[in-house]
Amino acid sequence: EEIEKGGYEHFMLKEIMEQPHSVADAMRGRVHPQEGQIRLGGLQKVLPQLVEAERIVICACGTSWHAGLAGEYLIEALARVPVEVEYASEFRYRNPVLTERDVVIVISQSGETADTLAAVRQAQGAGCLAVGLVNAVGSTIARETDAGVYLHAGPEIGVASTKAFTAQVAVLAQIALLLGAERGVLSQDEVRRHAEALAAIPAQIQTVLDGEEQIRRMARDYRYASNFLYLGRGANFPVALEGALKLKEISYIHAEGYPAAEMKHGPIALIDQFMPVVFIATRDATYEKVVSNIEEVAARGGTVIAITDEGNRDLDALAEYVVEVPKTIDALEPLLTVIPLQLLSYHIAVMRGADVDQPRNLAKSVTVE
Ligand code: G6P
């Protein structure tokens, strides 16, 4: 086991640190910036059906569901296809309205999650094409779906999913670009620009990982908090959910993720100096709005941690910590902004003496309902 951990104290840390490579692997042979092209061999035979889809329904559980939400943003923004994201467990029992023009995409690291597998069967029963984004090669979901794209993230051992999430988002970005190109929504030039941005992500993730020391200091400051709030908008809303999930899974600190603007409909009542509020506030379309939410929290004596993009000094006076990530295009931000949140939950859990790789009551793969 020590050898498998590659010198790291935990699998989770190893898997966080591997992300420049795992994300590159999820794109290898698929993203061709020079030609302005995305090639996904596993989707070739169903491409016409996918391109013609009237609607895409994404089903998944846990972290994979969060990746699905990031995928909704990507596919709607880049390919203009309507997307619904469903918890597989809800989808299977809700008698969902499906037509043969819908395509169901399921996302699963393990390829064995019982509810997600049931969603595949339900989709196929309704005559829909079922596409799988799966990490584990040869797993049940990989075998039962009609077509799919492997994540190629390599084995993920830590119960809290990290590198599978970024690989899932990277593959969803590729699907969004492919559909955007095929549907004529994106020009060749736009595809090229996005493919270049995607190809730059692995090195940018490395830059974020190189800032680990700051996150460790932050973890030391906030490790005794009993509640955390994570807020983000647009592409970074799923990152807020994922940041909160990572923290509760392995450190057992209660955490909630919310769309930043919804704060005033509830969570604002909880603000005090004891609850760190993590804002994902990159300078994208809703940045100004998020800054006013930050001001509201600061005005109520709340403790603000901000994740923003490189060179942004606006938040220095409002936040106790400002973590910078490199600039990318809006829809790809989750690939970078999630990294400091993974590291924060990891370091807090370690400092609290929690069993990071085997958190209590959780399983890596949930093969029962
Ligand atoms: C469990 C794991 C999570 C994972 C979820 C979905 O809850 O602990 O890390 O996100 O299942 O698993 P899947 O293998 O379908 O992605």
User: Tens digits of per-residue pLDDT, 293-338?
Assistant: 999 999 999 999 999 999 999 999 999 999 999 999 999 999 999 9
Interface confidence (ipTM) of the complex: 0.97
Alpha helices in the chain (DSSP H): 11-17, 19-27, 47-52, 62-79, 88-91, 114-125, 140-144, 163-182, 188-209, 212-222, 237-251, 287-299, 334-351
Q: Is residue 364 among the annotated active site residues?
A: yes
Relative to beta strand 83-87, strand 102-108 is: unpaired
280: left (phi over 0), alpha (psi -120 to 50) or beta: beta
Low-confidence ranges of the chain (pLDDT < 50): none
Amino acid identity of residue 148, one-letter, is G
CA 334 to CA 170: how far, in whole Å?
A: 10
CA 305 to CA 299: how far, in whole Å?
A: 14
Residues with CB under 6 A from ligand 1: 61-64, 108-110, 113, 116, 159-161, 362, 364-366
CA of 362 to the centre of ligand 1 (A): 9
Cα–Cα separations (whole angstroms), residue 39 to 44, 95, 106, 251: 8, 34, 20, 40
User: Residue 18 in 3-state DSSP?
Assistant: coil
Q: What is the pLDDT of residue 4?
A: 86
Identify the CA nearest to 182 among candidates 333, 43, 332.
43
Q: Say which DSSP state 187 is in.
A: -
Mutate to test the pocket of ligand 1, among 159, 166, 365, 369 (most ligand atoms within 8 A of CB): 365
Q: Got the DSSP string for 51-84? A: HH-SEEEEEE-HHHHHHHHHHHHHHHHHH---EE
Atom of ligand 1 nearest to the CA of 363: 8
User: Residue 133 in 3-state DSSP?
Assistant: strand
Q: What is the pLDDT of residue 283?
A: 96
Q: Say which DSSP state 320 is in.
A: S
CA of 60 to the centre of ligand 1 (A): 9
Q: Quote the pTM value.
A: 0.97
Mutate to test the pocket of ligand 1, among 241, 248, 366, 368 (most ligand atoms within 8 A of CB): 366
Q: What is the pLDDT of residue 126?
A: 95
Q: What is the pLDDT of residue 135?
A: 98
Q: Say which DSSP state 135 is in.
A: S
In terms of Cβ atoms closer than 10 Å to its own Cβ (0-12, 13-18, 19+), residue 164 is buried
Q: 173, 331 in Cβ contact below 8 A?
A: yes
Q: What is the pLDDT of residue 368?
A: 84
CA of 122 to the centre of ligand 1 (A): 20
Q: What is the pLDDT of residue 197?
A: 97
Identify the CA nearest to 63 among candidates 141, 163, 191, 179.
163
Q: What is the pLDDT of residue 2?
A: 76
Q: What is the pLDDT of residue 363?
A: 86
